[in-house]
Chain A
Amino acid sequence: MRYEIRVEGHMSETLTKAFPELDHVMMAGQTVLFGPVVDEAEFYGLLARCQSLGLRVVEMRQLPEWPR
């Protein structure tokens, strides 16, 4: 499973290090965190981490698998 989580605002480099398992990209006033998620438990863990860092999640969705 691959997911992306969009949070409001541009995250600093330091803060993105709180998500070492995800890649990130800034766009249009948002930060997009994306990458593989093992299972639902990890997914909820990521959301909780966003919350505890005071990040505002505006969107999250499952991504299609990479074409192989």
Chain B
Amino acid sequence: MSAVTAIPEDPVGSTDAYVDPTGEPFLRTRFALPKVPATFLRRERLADHLDQALLTPLTVVNGAAGAGKTLLVADWAAGLTETVAWLTNDAGDQGPGMFWAYVLQALRAAGVAVSDEVGCPADAGLVDHKLLARLAAELSGRERPVVLVLDEYDHVTAPEIADQLESVLQHAEQGLRLVLVTRTEPLLPLHRYRAAGGMTEIRDAELAFTPEEAAALLDRHGLRLPVAAARALVDRTRGWAAGLRLCALAAQESPDPETYLKEFEADRSTVADYLFAEVLRQQTDRTQDLLLRVSVLERFCPDLAEALTGRGGAGPILAELHRQNAFVEHLGHTWYRLHPLFAEILRAHLRARSPDLEPELHRRAAQWLRRSGSLPETLAHGAAAGDWEFTAGALVDDLAIGQLFTGLRSDDLADLFSRMGPETTGAAAELVRAARDLSRRDLDCGLTHLHHAEQRLATGEPGEPEVAAWLSCALLEALAARLTGSPGRAEQAAETAEELEHELPAPLLDKHPELTALLLTHLGSARLWAGRFEDARTALTAVVACPGGASTALPREESLGHLALIDYLDGWPGRAERKALAAMTETERYGLPQPSGSGIGRLVLAAVAVDRDELGRARAFLDEAADACRVAQDPVTAAGRAIAAARLLLARGDTRAAVAAADPAVRADVPSPWAEGHTALVASAVHLAEGRPDSAVEVLEQVPYDDQPACAVQAARARLAAGHRDAAIDTLDRLRAEGRAGPAVTVRAMLVRAQAADEAGDTDAARALVARALVEARRERLRRPFLEAGPRVRRLLGTGPLQELASGWLASPGTRHGGPAGEAAEHSSFVVEELSGRERDVLRRLAQMMSTAEIAADLYVSVNTVKTHLKSVYRKLAVNRRADAVRRARELRLL
């Protein structure tokens, strides 16, 4: 039995058994292997040829509409013992993200164990190549290949999808057999597969019926035809499967089928047109009406068909049409679709007969789908009907407004609503407009539309859908509050949202975790702006803890990025780095554009890199973050960028540019203590660097830095430079009570104290302080504080035990004199602690590719001893792996 038929036969319409990353159900009908009708003629020559598909990576079944491709492959696949994953591609522009989300789900639906590690795209238009690499790697580990059939591949038009398929196919090796069923030539490099014998190819000529096969097909419909007559028929239809099938159906009803077929041969109409009109005419009026009306649907069940016809009894009609194998294909259980060829022709007939009916049919379909189907289909038909009040209402009532900002469908939704005209003025439509404008950071327009929406809601009738609309308002209010830097407004929005959430059914909220996640992210960002770090952390941590998945990937990334910024501002570069990296992993896993969102995680990484004096890396992160942000930034991101950029310029000695970059230049309703503090801090550092210690003190005195340990340390530094040693120590003493500050602050504070002690002549105390600073900084690789420190501290670094503490991670102080550190220093000028004789012995054998055990035997020591030596070699060379140790040792001419 084939693995496909083993799929549980639930109703295969839209069920919640499979749910895509945005919480919307996957259309399970797209994973269903089409059922072969009783009149299907299995042609052994084609089935035998298709068996080759198991031996070649790629198979292409390429033929005209109605050539019998789908049924041929479906019949063949149903008889396989291999696992078969089937995906019918939908019409309409389909981005790579959506395509791969469906491919992954098709594999899972077929029982292929795709682990969660592979991830899932979160952006309809994009997929991360790493996700595809992980998928290919998992497939390549399979013992037996999975056969992946992509039907109607001609609907896949994005050229990058072809490249991605090709890449997955290559790397999945023996684990994947790809079968493309298509009307047009796929964009894969077929010539290469052909040349290498890596492709099974079945094209129109081979798909065409031979006279013998045509006779056998007609026989199945109860028509006996001599081969000569069958040959004439094949000549007329060119062996076209759909044509022959229609012939059989038309002739069946005729009193003299043979004469009928002769007449058909003599007729000069286009084959499909003639036969189609014939066969359609043979149906009852009711059946004709049903067929014409359902032609606007991709797929349908009797209930949906009845919603369109306004009459009952669709079930038996559809079952009979399927039995005849005319027009309809059965997708399992009660779901059907029209044969793609006939759907087009039926639509042409519908337009000819009742030109005004189409919008009404779309409207009815949308209403049915809103009750019993999926939101994306509802929206698509609502839009096709041109009924924007309804369409916007469906989105808002479903609480899906957050999907305009995040998740797999955000592009599709934005695209869909871009067709909405200004004549639609309901509250839901205004909310959609406000969301669109705010997502583009167009505050003025966004707030105007939001205001309109609120007015409409306030004057409207109360009811349950209103709650969803008000909650949508609260989300947009919170976003507006974040963008305008107004924490008060954000708090109010969050409170309103919390009250409203109690009034909504829990399943609706559970379906849209992105709504709460986005709202809390905005709240956290606004609180952070106002300097309320602990409150911000509460909101942001809640977002990180919320259910995973593509729909919340963006808010989770943003929240982790904000948390990273808090850690950085508190002076904990290691923690900040870990959170920023976690933020990036979060969205990479879901294939979001990299970098995505505001790019705040990268700004934090840039700032951390500056603290470590890795200026090249810092520059790269800043550039990447700038790529992310095509729109104006929210205040927190703008301030984060200002800090990272100004500190980098300062480290490079470009003081004038640093002062300019330090001003975030954002408009905000409330001031931000830390943003202002850091602007002043940079200004103070520039004054110091340019020999104006008094100005350096002055610029910080205008800032209340009780809550800003970094500013307090800078103030102490400036005071010391200005000759106020006691005031400097006093400032630092007050800081000590704080306790929140991490090493980036405390190390700098110790160095100021060391300098003060050294100036006071207490060299021993100064040495002890520098030693403590070195120990604390070493763990975090904090180099910048030592480079910023004055010549006194640097001199101390060059002496005795301090030199040893600095070696291996902090660049040689000797090379740093007279100017800022260059990037070259990152790579080559580390001071290398002398290797011991035994360590050299081990290293030399390592270079000869000896294993640990071999080295142990060769040196007559235990394996553990060798491991210990290796560890200290790695540490001294600042590497983690054998190969790197050998390479580094060669660079340093130790070998």
Residue-by-residue, is A4-15 near B (CB-CB < 8 Å gives 1, otherwise 0)?
000111111111
Closest to A55 in B: B270
In the bound complex, CA of A18 to CA of B5 (Å): 38
B66, B240, B269, B277 interface centre (most CB from chain A within 10 Å) = B269
Residue-by-residue, is A46-68 near B (CB-CB < 8 Å gives 1, otherwise 0)?
00010111111000000000000
Which segment of B134-142, B340-348, B411-419, B616-624 sits at the interface?
B340-348
- Identify which of A9, A52, A56 contacts B269 (C-beta below 8 A): A9
Residue-by-residue, is B220-263 near A (CB-CB < 8 Å gives 1, otherwise 0)?
00000000000000000010101100000000000000000000
Evaluate contact between A10 and B270: CB separation under 8 angstroms.
yes
Evaluate contact between A51 and B64: CB separation under 8 angstroms.
yes
Distance to closest chain B CB from A50 (angstroms): 10
Distance to closest chain A CB from B403 (angstroms): 29
Evaluate contact between A17 and B351: CB separation under 8 angstroms.
yes
Residues in A24-55 with C-beta less than 8 Å from chain B: 29, 31, 49, 51-55
Residues of B within 8 A of A9 (CB): 268-271, 273-274
Closest to B355 in A: A17
Q: Taking the complex as formed, is B6 at the interface, i.e. its CB lies under 8 A from any CB of chain A?
A: no
Q: Taking the complex as formed, is B678 at the interface, i.e. its CB lies under 8 A from any CB of chain A?
A: no
- Identify which of B272, B347, B351 contacts A54 (C-beta below 8 A): B272
Closest to B344 in A: A52
Residues of A within 8 A of B345 (CB): 15, 18, 53-54
In the bound complex, CA of A18 to CA of B347 (Å): 8
In the bound complex, CA of A14 to CA of B281 (Å): 13
Q: Taking the complex as formed, is B65 at the interface, i.e. its CB lies under 8 A from any CB of chain A?
A: yes
Residues of A within 8 A of B66 (CB): 54
Residues of B within 8 A of A54 (CB): 64-66, 240, 242-243, 270-273, 341, 345
Interface residues on B, range: 20 to 34
Distance to closest chain B CB from A14 (angstroms): 4
Distance to closest chain B CB from A8 (angstroms): 6
Q: Taking the complex as formed, is B687 at the interface, i.e. its CB lies under 8 A from any CB of chain A?
A: no
Residues of A within 8 A of B277 (CB): 12, 14
Distance to closest chain A CB from B124 (angstroms): 21
Evaluate contact between B273 and A15: CB separation under 8 angstroms.
yes
Evaluate contact between B271 and A52: CB separation under 8 angstroms.
no
In the bound complex, CA of A53 to CA of B344 (Å): 6
Residues of A within 8 A of B243 (CB): 54
Residues of A within 8 A of B196 (CB): none
In the bound complex, CA of A10 to CA of B64 (Å): 19
In the bound complex, CA of A54 to CA of B77 (Å): 26
A11, A52, A56 interface centre (most CB from chain B within 10 Å) = A52
Q: Taking the complex as formed, is B767 at the interface, i.e. its CB lies under 8 A from any CB of chain A?
A: no
Closest to B275 in A: A54
Q: Taking the complex as formed, is B349 at the interface, i.e. its CB lies under 8 A from any CB of chain A?
A: yes
In the bound complex, CA of A34 to CA of B347 (Å): 21
Evaluate contact between B270 and A7: CB separation under 8 angstroms.
yes
Residues in B124-180 with C-beta less than 8 Å from chain A: none
- Identify which of A17, A49, A55 contacts B272 (C-beta below 8 A): A55
Evaluate contact between A51 and B272: CB separation under 8 angstroms.
no
Residues of B within 8 A of A55 (CB): 270, 272
Residues of B within 8 A of A14 (CB): 273, 277, 348-349, 352
In the bound complex, CA of A55 to CA of B341 (Å): 10
In the bound complex, CA of A55 to CA of B272 (Å): 7
Q: Taking the complex as formed, is B449 at the interface, i.e. its CB lies under 8 A from any CB of chain A?
A: no
Q: Taking the complex as formed, is B183 at the interface, i.e. its CB lies under 8 A from any CB of chain A?
A: yes
Evaluate contact between B65 and A51: CB separation under 8 angstroms.
yes
In the bound complex, CA of A8 to CA of B273 (Å): 11
In the bound complex, CA of A14 to CA of B350 (Å): 9
Interface size in chain A (residues, C-beta < 8 A): 20
- Identify which of A13, A17, A31, A49 contacts B270 (C-beta below 8 A): A31
Residues of B within 8 A of A53 (CB): 65, 272-273, 341, 344-345, 348
Residues in B652-687 with C-beta less than 8 Å from chain A: none
In the bound complex, CA of A27 to CA of B858 (Å): 93
Residues of A within 8 A of B184 (CB): 51
Evaluate contact between B352 and A11: CB separation under 8 angstroms.
no
Residues of B within 8 A of A29 (CB): 268
Evaluate contact between A18 and B348: CB separation under 8 angstroms.
yes
Residue-by-residue, is B269-288 near A (CB-CB < 8 Å gives 1, otherwise 0)?
11111100100000000000
- Identify which of B238, B268, B341 contacts A52 (C-beta below 8 A): B341
Given contacts A52-B65, A52-B340, A54-B66, contact A8 B348 (CB under 8 A): no
B240, B269, B270 interface centre (most CB from chain A within 10 Å) = B270
Residues of B within 8 A of A11 (CB): 269-270, 273
In the bound complex, CA of A10 to CA of B270 (Å): 5
Distance to closest chain B CB from A11 (angstroms): 5
Closest to B246 in A: A54
Residue-by-residue, is B322-360 near A (CB-CB < 8 Å gives 1, otherwise 0)?
000000000000000000110011011101100000000
Residues of B within 8 A of A52 (CB): 65, 183, 340-341, 344
Evaluate contact between B348 and A17: CB separation under 8 angstroms.
yes
Residues of B within 8 A of A7 (CB): 270
Closest to B351 in A: A17
Evaluate contact between B348 and A51: CB separation under 8 angstroms.
no
Residues of B within 8 A of A10 (CB): 268-270, 273
Distance to closest chain B CB from A57 (angstroms): 10
Closest to A30 in B: B268
Distance to closest chain A CB from B575 (angstroms): 52
In the bound complex, CA of A14 to CA of B348 (Å): 7
In the bound complex, CA of A52 to CA of B348 (Å): 11
Distance to closest chain B CB from A26 (angstroms): 9
Distance to closest chain A CB from B156 (angstroms): 13
A13, A18, A29 interface centre (most CB from chain B within 10 Å) = A18
Distance to closest chain A CB from B249 (angstroms): 15
In the bound complex, CA of A52 to CA of B340 (Å): 7
In the bound complex, CA of A53 to CA of B340 (Å): 9
In the bound complex, CA of A14 to CA of B280 (Å): 13
Closest to B343 in A: A52
In the bound complex, CA of A10 to CA of B183 (Å): 23
Closest to A54 in B: B272
Evaluate contact between B351 and A18: CB separation under 8 angstroms.
yes
Residues of B within 8 A of A17 (CB): 348, 351-352
Distance to closest chain B CB from A32 (angstroms): 13
Distance to closest chain A CB from B107 (angstroms): 29
- Identify which of B270, B341, B349 contacts A8 (C-beta below 8 A): B270
Residues of A within 8 A of B242 (CB): 54
Closest to B280 in A: A14
Residues of A within 8 A of B348 (CB): 14-15, 17-18, 53
Distance to closest chain A CB from B596 (angstroms): 30
- Identify which of B183, B268, B351, B352 contacts A51 (C-beta below 8 A): B183
Closest to A17 in B: B352
Distance to closest chain B CB from A48 (angstroms): 8
In the bound complex, CA of A38 to CA of B268 (Å): 31
In the bound complex, CA of A25 to CA of B348 (Å): 18
Residues of A within 8 A of B238 (CB): 56
Evaluate contact between A13 and B352: CB separation under 8 angstroms.
yes
Residues of B within 8 A of A13 (CB): 352
Closest to A12 in B: B273
In the bound complex, CA of A31 to CA of B238 (Å): 18
Residues of A within 8 A of B341 (CB): 52-54
Distance to closest chain A CB from B346 (angstroms): 10
In the bound complex, CA of A15 to CA of B64 (Å): 18
Residues of B within 8 A of A12 (CB): 269-270, 273-274, 277
Given A15-B345, A52-B344, A54-B243, 8 more A-B residue pairs with CB atoms under 8 Å apart are A9-B274, A10-B269, A12-B274, A17-B352, A51-B64, A52-B65, A53-B344, A53-B345
Can you name 11 A-B residue pairings with CB atoms under 8 Å?
Answer: A9-B273, A10-B269, A12-B273, A17-B348, A49-B344, A53-B65, A53-B273, A54-B271, A54-B272, A55-B270, A55-B272
Q: Which residues of B contact A (CB under 8 A)?
A: 64-66, 183-184, 238, 240, 242-243, 268-274, 277, 340-341, 344-345, 347-349, 351-352
Minimum-distance CB pairs A-B, first 5: A9-B270, A54-B272, A18-B348, A14-B352, A52-B344
Q: Which residues of A contact B (CB under 8 A)?
A: 7-15, 17-18, 29, 31, 49, 51-56
